[in-house]
Chain A
């Protein structure tokens, strides 16, 4: 197992290296000159050249890339064009906000999707099943920003129970954090829950028709035991992937939702740095998201091996 993890970590590093290259090259293709944008109205040729030289932008591309890579290895992702602060700390200070939103949303989603998906499958064709299907259809087809706006109107406007937007760190004020995270997490979580409910339902239905479920029923086991021990454990295997993909994509920041709720996460940061052509920050944000994605994938592979004995990790 340790060897498996080590090998996967090494592979992840190679992928990350690829990510740096692709992002670096892509940003070269984006129209617009960051130095010009940074200078704005204070533009004059001398300052322009000086700033370009300071950022290393007058060097050849290859040199720029290896320079960037070398410093990235030591944890130095460069300096923001806009604020002049180190990118590493800008990106890392956005991490808790995104992490807490993503995790809360996924927990919220699984709490809804598992009972609903399971019930919907074992009582297929019943009222619960139809209700679950309407719910998931609603969740995947209604845009999340609209649901967010409706949430703000209802819970912040009409009822006045929750703040409409903003962020409080969990470490500073847990209660304040909870009241601020509730709306964005529920908005994002509702979409995730809809997708998950569908997957759990169809995965459960597939397993329910397996021969070994009939074997379990033939043994005279309680329905609860048959469903939880025999059906769910097998149905979980494909569902884990979906949960992981959802979590990973939420870790990448839900741009629209973070902007809507003024949530200072990675998504918001990405949005702002694109607007400002702040390439170093954008690069740093993308790199962090890619790293998180790879980490989640590694965890899923380990979880797979725990769930399915037919998969051996070597």
Chain B
């Protein structure tokens, strides 16, 4: 599988040194994404979804210790010198971050920011890079790109800035696009446009996409496979149809139930009681156990459930798959 994967991580762990001790941000995850495919990493804030991707591509904070194996286009990245990793990342991976208001440098023109990766990795001349920047801005739907290329980020709206960031990410025609909650900071109509833009670009360019989000609506719309993360681990993973029609982990079930109904049915939002455990002090057993509607089994508290298949390519980390009614298992 890893030979066909654009990016594959195996047994990835990320431990971040903090003043109050080591924090386990990612506690051993495996996932991979193939060309033309979209993998959605879903989870609450702090579930380790962003950290696993940043760590895999060498962008984890300096205080983080990363273990595991990461293959990018068949090349093992772990153990590679930082310089080589930097080159691989710039050449083959494009990033779109959460907040376009802060992810662009305020003192450089957007053209400069779009072109610099091309100059660095493709050896484009300033002039060729500029022409390419205009092309890219056009591709992501920025009107009159030949003039806008010399504008500064503050002269763009949020949605337009995110288009600039996407153009920047595509500068070297990457094999993989990482979208880290790219719509969270945008208003709803703009969100839909950005999702549509990325989906369209992916169809045209055949890029693999890792989409990090907590928006299950987006996942249903664009992802091929989904991995649900909680407290640094994957709880459920599989083709998006299988996971959505047949959620097998109580957490996934609860997440799907907590989706607000867009048709306005019901006045109250359904929530999951409690909050995730601190990464400084992860429980020995299932991290979701204290909040799990399928309570009662002492086993869950002390023993970590393994990731087991429930169908082809569909895996789940629980002792009690398909328990969705809150009843105590027997």
Contact = CB atoms under 8 A, between A and B. Distances in A.
Contacts of B105: 212, 215-216, 230, 233-234
A84 to B, nearest CB: 55
A309 B152 contact: yes
Interface stretch (B39-47, B113-121, B241-249): B113-121
A217 interface: yes
B238 interface: no
B101 to A, nearest CB: 9
A130 interface: no
Interface in A204-234: 210-212, 214-222, 225, 229-230, 233-234
A158 B205 CA distance: 73
Contact of B90 (A220, A234, A307): A220
B87 interface: yes
A225 B95 CA distance: 18
Interface in B76-93: 86-91, 93
B110 to A, nearest CB: 11
B212 to A, nearest CB: 14
Contact of B102 (A210, A217, A218): A210
A233 B113 CA distance: 14
B59 A215 contact: no
A218 B59 contact: yes
Interface in B196-248: none
A298 to B, nearest CB: 21
B154 A310 contact: yes
Contacts of B93: 218
A220 B104 contact: no
Contacts of A220: 86-91, 117, 120-121
A49 interface: no
A212 B102 contact: yes
B154 A309 contact: yes
B102 to A, nearest CB: 4
Contact of B116 (A221, A234, A308, A309): A221
B99 interface: yes
Contact of B103 (A214, A225, A234, A310): A214
B120 A219 contact: yes
Contacts of A211: 97, 99, 102-103
Interface residues on A, range: 20 to 34
B311 interface: no
A221 B87 CA distance: 8
A229 B116 CA distance: 11
Contact of B59 (A217, A230, A234, A309): A217
A50 B103 CA distance: 74
Nearest to A211: B102
A154 B242 CA distance: 81
B108 interface: yes
A215 B169 CA distance: 9
Interface string B41-62: 0000000000000000101000
A212 B152 contact: no
B107 A218 contact: no
Nearest to A124: B62
B165 interface: yes
A234 B104 CA distance: 12
Contacts of A210: 102
A225 B116 contact: yes
A212 B107 CA distance: 11
Contact of A229 (B86, B108, B121, B152): B108
A136 B59 CA distance: 32
A214, A215, A218, A310 — most chain B CB neighbours (10 Å): A218
Contact of B104 (A212, A221, A225, A229): A212
Given A218-B59, A219-B90, A234 B106 contact: yes
B168 interface: yes
Contacts of B90: 218-221
Contacts of B171: 219
A117 B90 CA distance: 28
Contacts of A230: 105, 108
A221 to B, nearest CB: 6
B117 A215 contact: no
B152 A214 contact: no
A309 B107 contact: yes
Given A234-B105, A308-B107, A214 B97 contact: yes
B82 to A, nearest CB: 9
A307 B107 CA distance: 7
B184 to A, nearest CB: 13
Contacts of A229: 108, 116
B170 to A, nearest CB: 12
A208 to B, nearest CB: 10
Contact of A214 (B59, B108, B109): B59
B97 A221 contact: no
Contacts of B104: 212, 215
Interface of B: 57, 59, 86-91, 93, 95, 97, 99, 102-109, 116-117, 120-121, 152, 154, 165, 168, 171
Which 5 pairs show the lowest CB-CB distances between chains A and B? Answer: A220-B90, A218-B95, A211-B102, A219-B117, A212-B105
Given A211-B97, A221-B117, A222-B86, 16 more contacts: A212-B106, A214-B97, A215-B95, A218-B57, A218-B89, A218-B90, A218-B93, A218-B95, A218-B97, A220-B86, A220-B88, A220-B117, A220-B120, A225-B116, A234-B107, A309-B106
7 contacts: A218-B59, A218-B89, A220-B120, A221-B120, A222-B86, A229-B116, A310-B154
